[in-house]
Structure 1
Amino acid sequence: MSAASAAEPALPAATAPGTDRVPPLSAGSGPVKEDLNRTWWDKFGHSTIVWGLRAAVLVAFLTLWQITAGPVIDITFVSKPSLILERLVDWITDGTLWTHTWITLQEILLGFFFGALAGALVGYLLASFNLLYQVLDPFMLALYSIPKVALAPLFIVWFGIGMDMKVLLAAATVFFLVFLNTAAGVREVDRGLIDAVRLMGGNRRHVAFKVVLPSSMTGFLTGLKVAIPYALIGAVIGELVASNQGLGYLINASAAQFDTAGVFATLVVLTIVATILNSGVAVLSKRINRWKPLDEH
């Protein structure tokens, strides 16, 4: 055996010529494996702490309210949690709460749906045509600046005091918020993406549905989130101005009788409705934005 052949290191069996075996990875090389056997606390510990602190803040606030209402603050103006709970139980038992809540909920959902649908379509179409958007934008902003409370008497003249008036008032409130946010999302689309699609042979339809529409979803969803409380405001304002049913009517009737507990009980129900609607939009946002990186959700 020559010195050259003696000095040449022997090849491992796994890399010998004519074999397909792969040598085992040495320690410290290759992909890092993460142990997926996490404990319950590792998965839900942070959210548990957050929700626990939220509950603690709520309990502390209600306790302080209950203690100070009467001895410190006039109960006529602020009521107290125990009286509010008692009023809610009474209304649930005799069916008052279910009847009026269902009326208001229909007005909110219908107004939110039609207002959001119209706002998204008009915002997307107008923002897609630059000249048309520049011409109509000042008029849309002028209409948006009109207080929606001022529209209620006009809507009563046009549509009466039935449910249609409340639905349209809620829809008019939602429309402008969704329109402005959707239009802003369309106009802020990255021009580089549009140019890239066109360089690859894409036509206007490809640009509209593959680039502009997905990119404008952020503005659209922002408009939905912002519009939820305004849908409630529109429906309740219509009921406050002229109605004999709904949660707005309950607020009016309770206030007329100096029933502060009834007013606060109705506000609690409206808060719960708004929370449920916000949660629904949050779920929708996660499903629509699945294509985005996790840190952008």
Structure 2
Amino acid sequence: MTTQTVAAKPAPAAPARPAQTPGDRRDKVVDLVRLWAIRIAIVVVFCSAWQFSSGRIFPVFIVSSPTLVVERFGDFMQGGELFSHLGYTMRACGMGFAIGALIGSTLGLLFGIYESISRVISPFAAMLYSTPKIMLSPLIVVWVGVDLTMKVFVATFACMWVIFYNVWNATRRIDRNLLDQMRLMGANQRQIIVGLYLPSALTWLLTSLRVAFPVALIGAVVGEFVASSQGLGYLALDSGQRYDSAGVLVAVLTITVTAMTIDSILAAIQRKVALWQGEGVRG
């Protein structure tokens, strides 16, 4: 009797990622330079048109001009006024953002994990989410006064719902097959939350943080509009009351640059986490 031995065929190897050639890297650099050249050209054209029209087509006190904005920025920097107002706004925004992230993510996980709680509370959550947060600012003044606590409260209430709904949706979209498998393997509730819910909600949480930070910043600035003697919101309001459009624009640009900087940091963190999870999501 002849025994025939059949050799097992090795599994096909995964296709190797093609290495970048010097030409590919050069093309990427050229594309990046071209992109930034177009962006800079747009800014230059806009500022040139703005400078030309200021005082010729539109009154200076209404539209200001790039040179006046730079001069006012130098005045605020020289006296340390800009950093003082920026620090006050960032304290209110940062505290509100941190508290809102903690409350929103906790409630989102709670609602997503326990469906019975979700069914009972979801209509009330939708009602609060739909409420214009800015309109509650005068009422918050009555509750907590006009100090820093009020701005923190407004920033918290404004941003927590963005985080809450993103985390809630993430936990509701958990793969039920994975959940059933973990339960069949004897995993307890804590192990399920740590091993399944938290990793699944992490990407959504980071995305919601990028959306929620500008909302928290707007909440803090609006709180300064309502009642404050410090902060970038107060600086913009005070400059506007004195018809100092350059001062208003300095405050607005400072807020914008700050928001973009924080968003870039959060985007970098999001990319690192995405690579760690093997998703490679672009920020």
* Fold equivalence (TM over 0.5): yes
Query: Of 204, 223, 239, which aligns to 1:219?
Result: 204
User: 2:59 aligned to 74, 79, 97, which one?
Assistant: 74
Q: Distance in 1 between matches of 2:277 and 2:170?
A: 17
CA contact (8 A) 2:213 2:259 kept: yes
State the AA in 1 paired with 2:117. Answer: L
Kindly report which structure 2 residues correspond to 1:21-36, keeping only aligned pairs within 5 A, or say none: 34-36=18-20
Q: Residues 231-289 of structure 1: CA distance to partner in whole angstroms, max 9, x if unpaired?
A: 11110111011001111111111011111111111100000110111112112212222
In structure 1, runs of 5+ residues without a counterpart are 1-29
Aligned length: 268
Map of 1:293 onto structure 2: 279
1:48 is aligned, of 28, 33, 38, to 33
Post-superposition CA distance 1:101-146 (Å, at most 9, x none): 1111111111111111110111111211001011101101111222
Sort the Cα spacing of 1:225 and 1:32 in 2 relative to 1 into closer, same or farther, 3 A. closer
Which of the two has higher C-alpha Rg? Answer: 1
Q: Which residue of 2 aligns with 1:89?
A: 74
- The structure 2 residue matched to 1:178, chosen from 163, 166, 170, is 163
User: CA offset at residue 197 of structure 1?
Assistant: 3.4
- 1:213-292 to structure 2, matched below 5 A, reads 213-289=198-274, 290-292=276-278
- TM-score normalised by length of structure 2: 0.87
Structure 2, gaps ≥5 residues long: 1-13
Aligned CA distance change for structure 1 residues 296 and 97 (closer, same or farther; 3 Å): closer
**Following the alignment from structure 1 to structure 2, what is the Cα–Cα distance between the partners of residues 96 and 110?**
22
TM-score under structure 1 normalisation?
Answer: 0.83
Aligned twin of 1:158: 143
Contact conserved, 2:207 with 2:270, CA < 8 A, in 1? no
RMSD: 2.2
2:177 aligns with 192
User: Once structures 1 and 2 are overlaid, which stretch shifts more, 247-256 or 279-288?
Assistant: 279-288
Report if the CA contact (8 A) 2:271-2:280 is conserved.
no
Report percent identity of matched pairs: 36
Q: CA deviation at 1:35?
A: 4.8
Measure the CA separation in 1 of the matches of 2:15 and 2:100.
51
Q: Distance in 2 between matches of 1:276 and 1:31?
A: 38
Residues of 2 paired with 1:123 and 1:295: CA distance?
A: 23
Give CA deviations for 1:48-83 in whole Å, capped at 9, x if unaligned.
Answer: 333332222222222221122222223222111111
2:19 aligned with 1:38, yes or no? no
- Aligned partners of 2:280 and 2:252: how far apart in 1? 36
Task: For residue 294 of structure 1, give the secondary structure of its aligned residue in structure 2.
Answer: coil
CA distance 1:50–1:191, shift in 2 (3 Å): farther
Tell me, yes or no, if structure 1 residue 102 matches structure 2 residue 91. no
CA distance in 1, matches of 2:278, 2:133: 36
CA deviation after TM superposition for structure 1 residue 38, in Å: 2.9
Q: Which runs of 4+ in 1 moved over 4 A?
A: 30-37
8 Å CA contact retained: 2:96, 2:156: yes
TM-superposed CA distance for 1:153, in Å, is: 1.3
